Amino acid sequence: MMTENCLKRKIITVSGSTRFIDVIAVIQWYLETLEGAICLGMNLLPEWYGAEASHQAEAEGIDKEQDSLHFDKIDISHELYVVNVNHYIGKSTAREIAYAQKKGINIRYYQDDYLRHKVIHQMQRKERR
């Protein structure tokens, strides 16, 4: 059941290469906790689940279904947040960016965003421990 408060929140789809799944998880956390957004993104599977995380959908033969699902997430979003660590954008992410542009959905990039500095700070804190 949707509540009135839910409808007031910004909905953000998070996109990016699953090679950066750790950064994606932290970004989703920040978008929800710091900005109060509802995040739609990837399923964050643990390493023990199966194939290499960046190719799990292909390994299970559901990559086309997952791509379609991600486009549907973009359709209901106010914003697409692209996790482009070191400016890397893969083919799937590039398709999602083009789709969002065609739909007139705002696109925000990790590499240019204030949250990038928060992620880097957290990584450095972990390295110092």
Alpha helices in 4-83 (DSSP H): 4-8, 21-33, 56-59, 63-75
Please name the amino acid found at residue 21: I
Please give the chain's pLDDT, 129 residues, in tens. 455 555 689 999 999 988 888 899 999 999 999 999 999 987 766 667 665 655 666 777 767 888 899 999 999 999 999 999 999 999 889 999 999 999 999 999 999 999 999 999 998 987 776
Which helix (H) or strand (E) covers residue 122, if one does?
A: helix 114-128
Domain that residue 103 falls in: 4-46+53-128
The CATH number assigned to the domain holding 113 equals 3.40.50
Report the number of distinct structural domains present in the chain. 1
Quick check: helix, strand or coil at residue 104? Answer: coil
